[in-house]
């Protein structure tokens, strides 16, 4: 072989090796982010429309849907009719995320490789009045979502959902997220990060069959309002708040009103002097013990009636008029408990 041919072969081998390395790097980079690179030819994880838009697009069928399941693939939907039993719910309206309905009651939401949620999850399944279960199966990526208010509002028959797998680290607005879900008996949100949350008002309001909420540790120090959070949860008896921490909230009005808990551990609640506690424990007929730490002792100065009709409080000679002066552990109805380590 001549020197020229030898150099030619070597240069071609180097070129082939370089091209293969470049392709491999592009593949691993794109696979790691699950995003499409136009040059690498790797599939993008597609984007879902906003919650409000999803609800609008699927409105023709939402009253009949009993089950919702997310999938990381899309089957052949050639025999389905757009707007009747299939819907383009992709942000780009390119068919990359589709919702389709089988047997008139089973909805599937699919996207190749998974689905990225919009910043807004608001009202997504609101007034899906027949839905009994919503299964995300780790398919929906909510890491960039910032708002989820009214997400399941008035899902009257909802009983099961694996929302505990959702990434809530950036979500600020949770108000009325599960409100009026009157058939839901238990909810596990123990894995949720709520450090960005600022509004949890009415989050579980009027969930009349709710018996148990598994919270886990929650750093809710940035939340401003808990107004009516558990209002009218008339069967709620299990609520472990011992690792629920607050700091900046100004509104606790009606937070536990009409719930059935006999004991509340609020030792992680740090109270501001201007906090509104109006009927915070109102009509909790079987409430006997409320634990608080030194963060609450006789500092709240607002004029309100937090214990309205709490006739079962330990040590109570309650008249319904007794107010904020009893909201302390020294001379009032509370029991002291040292706040547990965060």
Higher pLDDT, 16 or 126: 126
Distance CA 73, CA 97 (A): 9
Burial (CB < 10 A; 0-12, 13-18, 19+), residue 164, is middle
With beta carbons less than 8 A apart as the criterion, state whether 191 and 165 touch: yes
Strands 212-214 and 238-239: parallel
Q: In this structure, how many other beta carbons lie within 10 angstroms of the beta carbon of residue 308? A: 20
Distance CA 220, CA 7 (A): 68
Q: In this structure, how many other beta carbons lie within 10 angstroms of the beta carbon of residue 303? A: 9
Q: In this structure, how many other beta carbons lie within 10 angstroms of the beta carbon of residue 289? A: 17
Q: Interior CA angle at 95 toward 89 and 101, to 5°?
A: 60
Task: Indicate the domain borders of the chain.
Answer: 1-44, 172-342
- pLDDT (average), residues 225-254: 95
Q: Interior CA angle at 122 toward 121 and 127, to 5°?
A: 115
Q: Would the pLDDT of 132 be above 80? A: yes
With beta carbons less than 8 A apart as the criterion, state whether 120 and 93 touch: no
Q: What is the pTM of this model?
A: 0.86
Q: In this structure, how many other beta carbons lie within 10 angstroms of the beta carbon of residue 28? A: 12
Give the residue from 162, 144, 143 showing the smallest Cα distance to 152.
162
Of the candidate ranges 32-36, 245-249, 250-254, 310-314, the one whose mean pLDDT is the lowest: 32-36
Sheet with 160-161: strands ordered across: 86-88, 97-102, 106-111, 67-71, 133-135, 160-161
Burial (CB < 10 A; 0-12, 13-18, 19+), residue 11, is exposed
Which single residue is written with the structure tokens 């998974």? Answer: 114
Please tell me the predicted confidence (pLDDT) of residue 325: 82
CA distances from residue 1 to 4, 133, 214 in whole angstroms, order as listed: 8, 72, 76
Sheet with 335-336: strands ordered across: 263-265, 289-292, 335-336
Q: How confident is the model at residue 12 (pLDDT cuts 50, 70, 90)?
A: low
Please tell me the predicted confidence (pLDDT) of residue 21: 46
Q: Would the pLDDT of 36 be above 50? A: no
Give the residue from 189, 203, 200 showing the smallest Cα distance to 232.
203
């Amino acid at each position: 072989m001549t020197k020229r041919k030898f150099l030619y072969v070597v240069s071609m081998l180097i070129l082939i090796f370089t091209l293969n390395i470049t392709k491999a790097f592009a593949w691993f980079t794109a696979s790691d982010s699950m995003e499409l690179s136009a040059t690498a030819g790797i599939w993008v994880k597609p984007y879902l429309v906003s919650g409000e838009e999803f609800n609008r697009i699927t409105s023709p069928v939402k009253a009949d849907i009993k089950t919702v399941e997310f999938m990381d693939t899309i089957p052949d939907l050639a025999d389905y009719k757009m707007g009747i039993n299939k819907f383009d719910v992709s942000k780009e309206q390119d068919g990359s995320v589709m919702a389709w309905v089988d047997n008139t009651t089973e909805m599937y939401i699919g996207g190749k490789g998974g689905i990225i949620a919009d910043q807004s999850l608001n009202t997504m399944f609101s007034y899906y009045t027949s839905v009994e279960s919503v299964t995300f199966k780790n398919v929906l990526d909510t890491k960039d979502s910032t708002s989820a208010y009214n997400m399941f509002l008035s899902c009257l028959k909802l009983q099961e959902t694996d929302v505990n797998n959702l990434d809530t680290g950036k979500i600020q607005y949770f108000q009325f997220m599960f409100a009026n879900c009157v058939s839901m008996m238990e909810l596990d949100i123990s894995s949720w990060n709520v450090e960005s949350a600022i509004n949890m008002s009415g989050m579980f309001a009027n969930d009349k069959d709710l018996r148990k909420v598994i919270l886990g540790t929650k750093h809710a120090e940035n939340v401003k309002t808990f107004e009516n959070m558990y209002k009218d949860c008339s069967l709620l008896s299990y609520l472990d708040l011992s690792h629920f921490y607050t700091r900046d909230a100004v509104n606790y009005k009606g937070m536990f009103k009409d719930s059935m808990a006999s004991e509340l551990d609020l030792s992680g609640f740090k109270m501001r002097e201007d906090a509104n506690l109006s009927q915070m424990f109102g009509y909790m007929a079987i409430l006997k013990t409320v634990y608080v730490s030194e963060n609450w002792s006789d500092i709240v100065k607002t004029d309100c009636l937090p214990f309205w009709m709490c006739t079962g409080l330990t040590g109570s000679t309650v008249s319904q008029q007794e107010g904020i002066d009893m909201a302390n552990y020294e001379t009032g109805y509370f029991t002291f408990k040292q706040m547990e380590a965060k």
